[in-house]
Amino acid sequence: MNAPATAAAMPNNQRENRAVEREILTRVTNALEAAAKTGSREALAKAASDNQLLWSVFVRDLQSGQNHLPPELRKQLLEIGQTVIREISENINKTLDTEFLISINRAIIEGLSDN
Q: What is the pLDDT of residues 8-45, one digit of tens each?
A: 555 567 778 899 999 999 999 999 999 999 989 999 99
Domain boundaries, the chain: 7-112
Please indicate whether residue 46 or residue 115 has the higher confidence score (pLDDT). 46
**How many Cβ atoms sit within 10 Å of the Cβ of residue 65?**
5
Give the whole-angstrom CA distance, residue 3 versus residue 25: 16
Q: What is the pTM of this model?
A: 0.85
58-74: pLDDT as tens digits: 999 999 989 989 999 99
What count of other Cβ atoms lies within 10 Å of the Cβ of residue 35?
A: 21
DSSP the chain: --S-S-GGGS-HHHHHHHHHHHHHHHHHHHHHHHHHHHT-HHHHHHHHHHHHHHHHHHHHHHHSTT--S-HHHHHHHHHHHHHHHHHHHHHTTS---HHHHHHHHHHHHHHHS--
- Looking at residue 81, what is its pLDDT? 98
Query: How far is 1 from 75, CA to CA, in rounded Å?
Result: 12
